[in-house]
Amino acid sequence: MTVPAARVAAQAKINLFLDVLAREPSGYHAIETAFLRIDLTDDVTVRETSGRTLEVSGPALPAGGLGPTERNLAYRAASAYSDATGWPSGFAIELVKRIPVGAGLGGGSADAGAVLRALDALSPRPVGARLTELAATLGADVPFMTIDDPMALGSGRGERLKPIPALEPRAIVLAIPPFPILTGDAYAWLDADRAAQPLASPTSIAEPLASWDDAAAAAHNDFAEVVERRHPGVAAIAERLRGGGASIALLAGSGSTVFGIFEETPDVASLRLGDDVRVITTWTSDRVERVTIDQ
């Protein structure tokens, strides 16, 4: 008997703006942000099995791998689904990595969200809208990665989502420096800097970001200054993207990627981003990739 497999392309994301609020007594930070999916994806396949396994391959897999399987977000997502619903007792996850690791593009969260969606598609008793509640236990970006909307405003720890109409697709250049930035490090830098300087009130964002002009006016990232102070090359990349015609040039999440939004795909060589900077060109998305079931 063939075991059904659920397949989904797990889309990366960018944040068109990102406010990081004060650290809470719990140690967490609330955020206010605008999430937008892009067309860069990992491939995720999930099956019900008797054991619990994760196989990872692909061009974005680091030479040293992704670390212990039990700490991988995709594996943790499947375990959390099983614990919360009683199904499945075992699972096999196959993951093909194309989203760079430690780049601020939400690759691990995209994989976790894809696993949750895949399992819910296979489940005899799907949880539906409750999937975001389960996702919220895994990380701030994961709830967005479980919904069927390509763009949303997010707040709290990412679990409060307000879907908004997606902007029309535009070309995006992802400039990836030769170093990752761990999210925990970025938050620690932010806390250290804020200890010496009081936190200003977050910018009031006009909703619903109805145009790319609105997005350009709102674009900012609270991580940008602390990352650029420790990695000056990040600021230089953003300046070159703007000089090449990008309407938005911004640090992606907690970094290290800098993304540029263009009306048309530019001549990458003319941007002079540096020989050590990896460049990926793709598009912002106005859709969410669907889960398909192979019987």
Gap between the Cα atoms of 50 and 92, Å rounded: 9
Give the count of beta carbons closer than 10 Å to the beta carbon of residue 226: 23
Q: Which CATH class is domain 5-165?
A: alpha beta
Q: Is the pLDDT of residue 26 over 80?
A: no
What average pLDDT score do residues 171-194 get?
A: 91
Q: Note whether 150 and 209 are within 8 A (CB).
A: no
Q: Is the pLDDT of residue 252 over 90?
A: yes
pLDDT value of residue 24: 77
Query: Is position 13 annotated as part of the catalytic site?
Result: yes
Nearest partner of 257 among 288, 221, 285, judged by Cα: 221
Residue 68: helix, strand or coil by DSSP?
Answer: coil
Read off the pLDDT band of 1 (50, 70, 90): low
The amino acid sitting at 46 is V
What average pLDDT score do residues 86-104 get?
A: 96
* Percent of the chain whose pLDDT exceeds 90: 81
Gap between the Cα atoms of 174 and 109, Å rounded: 18
Reported pTM: 0.93
pLDDT value of residue 199: 57
164-to-12, 34, 120, 252 alpha-carbon distances in Å: 18, 9, 24, 20
Radius of gyration of the chain (CA): 19
Which distant-in-sequence residues (6+ apart) come within 8 Å of 62 by Cβ? 101
Q: Which CATH class is domain 171-283?
A: alpha beta
pLDDT value of residue 22: 78
Q: Are strands 278-283 and 171-176 parallel, antiparallel or unpaired?
A: antiparallel
Catalytic residue among 13, 19, 97, 111: 13
Nearest partner of 31 among 190, 228, 259, 195, judged by Cα: 190
Catalytic residue among 111, 141, 149, 276: 141
Which distant-in-sequence residues (6+ apart) come within 8 Å of 149 by Cβ? 161, 163, 164, 166, 288
Q: Is the pLDDT of residue 179 over 90?
A: no
Q: Are strands 91-96 and 52-57 parallel, antiparallel or unpaired?
A: parallel
Q: Is 274 exposed, middle or buried (0-12, 13-18, 19+ CB in 10 A)?
A: middle
CATH 3.30.70.890 in the chain: give the residue spans: 171-283
Q: Is the pLDDT of residue 202 over 80?
A: no
CATH 3.30.230.10 in the chain: give the residue spans: 5-165
Terminal CA-to-CA distance of the chain, rounded, Å? 10
Query: Is position 97 annotated as part of the catalytic site?
Result: no
Gap between the Cα atoms of 29 and 202, Å rounded: 13
Buried b (16+ CB within 10 A) or exposed e, 163-201: ebebbeebbbbbbbbeebbebebbbebbbeebeeeeeee
Nearest partner of 113 among 92, 84, 134, judged by Cα: 134
